């Protein structure tokens, strides 16, 4: 499970029971029961997460690491307990390797500014793939502007898979950092990240994996993968927005300067010299998102109580069903047909702009994402301005798939 996202044999998920855990699924949209197929953008929260956040805010809130009073200690225990929960979730060696950030975007920017910027020079190379989300492109472009290093991009094929041979050819002694997604948000492609990491390490490069779309669908073991940095967001993992995780190998984090200054990241401050706090707090300037961390820990408890293999197997069944059903519809083209995919189905309807399609689906109570999915180079590769994207989570059902198919038929009647 660490290297790819193929489901293993697992007990079936009791989806009706799961759905009862998510109160928002009772919402009626435009007169229809909500069919939520946009979890790749942001997943909904189960009651366990909502309650954990409310419980914390109601009974334990104060600032962390600052007070001897009871509430500050309770808040600190909750926040640091959440860090230990995250450590176990991804099997990191130590809580010193778990940095709380606002989300994937902030985690990548932290590595770009605190690892890459001070180290890279003209002639050095950063290697990414065509499949990346803008969050794993633009921070590296900024570093290139700041340091004079060069960004290289590994190509993909017509199925939306990384061209591994060409990726390997682009790796060389100048490659200092490799940054790739574990799962593409635009197409659902699962990348061979273990192979990527091994190959990058052979040339001495450091590897950052963007796990935003992987952690909700598979057991991720950062040590088994061998990742140097691994980043993800809480809100795609059934947790709150505004909280995410940067995992970094301790020796790398220890050698990096802080990237933001302020409270909590220091040991002593004088106008002559400031000394910095230990890991992980060195990278957490200012009052953190305490309730976000508490909610994220509750989300991890919840997901593990369902069993990630069972969730993954359920989502794979829905993905395969939806792929087969949509492939039969006239005028529908599925974009991204990789052999290994997770949870995401991107498609177009001939002659209909995806935004118009999205509007008709919304009128039927169906939430899909339409647009470039913050992955414009992927759209450019396929010669498209945008796609519609359905994405599946633990609470989706076969009925959701048939509702999507029904509404697409209706859209075709309207537009074609």
Q: Which residues pair with 37 in a beta bridge?
A: none
- The footprint of ligand C6P on this chain (CB under 6 A) covers a number of residues equal to 17
Q: Specify the residue, 13 or 375, whose C-beta has the smaller distance to ligand C6P.
A: 375
Rounded Cα gap, residues 187 and 345, in angstroms:
7
Enter the DSSP assignment of 236.
Answer: G
Q: Which residues of 349-363 are buried (b: 16+ CB within 10 A; e: fewer)?
A: beebebebbbebbbb
Q: Specify the residue, 104 or 316, whose C-beta has the smaller distance to ligand C6P.
A: 104
Enter the DSSP assignment of 191.
Answer: P
Query: Which region, judged by CB under 6 A, interacts with ligand C6P, from 11-19, 117-125, 130-138, 259-267?
Result: 130-138
Q: Specify the residue, 13 or 335, whose C-beta has the smaller distance to ligand C6P.
A: 335
Of 96, 117, 282, 373, the residue at the interface with ligand C6P (CB under 6 A) is 373
Contact status, residue 5 vs residue 313, Cβ threshold 8 Å: no
Q: Specify the residue, 190 or 394, whose C-beta has the smaller distance to ligand C6P.
A: 190
369 touching ligand C6P, by CB under 6 A: yes
Rounded Cα gap, residues 143 and 126, in angstroms:
9
Contact status, residue 283 vs residue 261, Cβ threshold 8 Å: no
Distance set, CA 64 to CA 61, 215, 280, 318 (Å): 9, 27, 14, 42
Q: Which residues pair with 233 in a beta bridge?
A: 244
Q: Specify the residue, 13 or 243, whose C-beta has the smaller distance to ligand C6P.
A: 243
Provide the minimum distance between the beta carbon of 72 and ligand C6P in the complex, in angstroms, as a whole number: 29
Query: Which region, judged by CB under 6 A, interacts with ligand C6P, from 86-94, 100-108, 321-329, 359-367?
Result: 100-108
Query: Count of CB atoms within 10 A of residue 55's CB?
Result: 14
Q: Scanning residues 34 to 93, which ones bind ligand C6P (CB under 6 A)?
A: 40-41
Q: Scanning residues 108 to 127, which ones bind ligand C6P (CB under 6 A)?
A: none
* Contact map string, positions 203 to 242, toward ligand C6P, x by CB under 6 A: -------x-xx-------------------x---------
The end-to-end CA distance of the chain, in Å, is 43
Active site (annotated) includes residue 149: no
Query: Which region, judged by CB under 6 A, interacts with ligand C6P, from 114-122, 129-137, 201-209, 332-340?
Result: 129-137
Q: Which residues of 295-324 are buried (b: 16+ CB within 10 A; e: fewer)?
A: bbbbbbebbeebbbbbbbbbbbbbbeebbe
341 touching ligand C6P, by CB under 6 A: no
Provide the minimum distance between the beta carbon of 197 and ligand C6P in the complex, in angstroms, as a whole number: 17
Contact status, residue 154 vs residue 166, Cβ threshold 8 Å: yes
* Contact map string, positions 133 to 172, toward ligand C6P, x by CB under 6 A: x-xx------------------------------------
Contact status, residue 82 vs residue 298, Cβ threshold 8 Å: no
The residue annotated as part of the active site, out of 144, 149, 374, 394, is 374
Residues annotated as catalytic (active site), given as ranges? 374
Q: Which residues bind ligand C6P (CB under 6 A)?
A: 40-41, 103-105, 133, 135-136, 181, 185, 210, 212-213, 233, 369, 373-374
């Amino acid at each position: 499970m660490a290297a790819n996202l193929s489901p293993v044999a697992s007990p079936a998920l009791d989806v009706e029971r799961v759905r009862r855990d998510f109160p928002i699924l009772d919402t009626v949209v435009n007169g229809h029961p909500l069919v939520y197929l946009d979890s790749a953008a942001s997943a909904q929260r189960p009651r366990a997460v909502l309650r954990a956040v409310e419980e914390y805010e109601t009974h334990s809130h104060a600032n962390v690491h600052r007070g001897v009073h009871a509430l500050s200690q309770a808040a600190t225990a909750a926040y640091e307990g959440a860090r230990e929960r995250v450590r176990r979730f991804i099997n990191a060696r130590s809580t010193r390797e778990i940095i709380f950030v606002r989300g994937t975007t902030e985690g990548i920017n932290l590595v770009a500014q605190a690892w890459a910027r001070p180290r890279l020079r003209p002639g050095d190379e950063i290697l990414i793939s065509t499949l990346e989300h803008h969050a794993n492109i633009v921070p590296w472009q900024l570093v290139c502007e700041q340091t004079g290093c060069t960004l290289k991009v590994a190509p993909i094929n017509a199925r939306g898979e990384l061209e591994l041979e060409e990726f390997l050819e682009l790796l060389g002694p100048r490659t200092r950092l490799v940054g790739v997604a574990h799962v593409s948000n635009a197409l659902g492609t699962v990348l061979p990240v273990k192979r990527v990491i091994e190959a990058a390490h052979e040339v001495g490069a450091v590897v950052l994996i963007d796990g935003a779309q992987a952690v909700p669908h598979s057991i991720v073991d950062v040590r088994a993968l061998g990742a140097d940095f691994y980043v993800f967001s809480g809100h795609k993992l059934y947790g709150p927005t505004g909280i995410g995780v940067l995992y970094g190998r301790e020796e790398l984090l220890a050698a990096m300067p802080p990237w933001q200054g302020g409270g909590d990241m220091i040991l002593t401050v004088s106008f002559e010299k400031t000394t910095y706090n230990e890991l992980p707090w060195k990278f957490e300037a200012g009052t953190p998102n305490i309730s976000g961390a508490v909610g994220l820990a509750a989300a991890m408890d919840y997901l593990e109580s369902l069993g990630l293999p069972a969730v993954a197997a359920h989502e794979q069944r829905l993905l395969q069903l939806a792929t087969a059903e949509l492939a039969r519809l006239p005028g529908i083209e599925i974009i991204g047909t990789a052999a290994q995919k997770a949870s995401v189905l991107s498609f177009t309807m001939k002659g209909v702009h995806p935004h118009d399609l999205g509007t008709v689906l919304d009128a039927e109570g169906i939430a899909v994402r339409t647009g470039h999915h913050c992955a414009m180079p992927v759209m450019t590769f396929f010669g498209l301005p945008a796609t519609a994207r359905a994405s599946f989570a633990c609470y989706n059902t076969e009925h959701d798939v048939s509702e999507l198919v029904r509404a697409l038929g209706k859209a075709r009647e309207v537009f074609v």
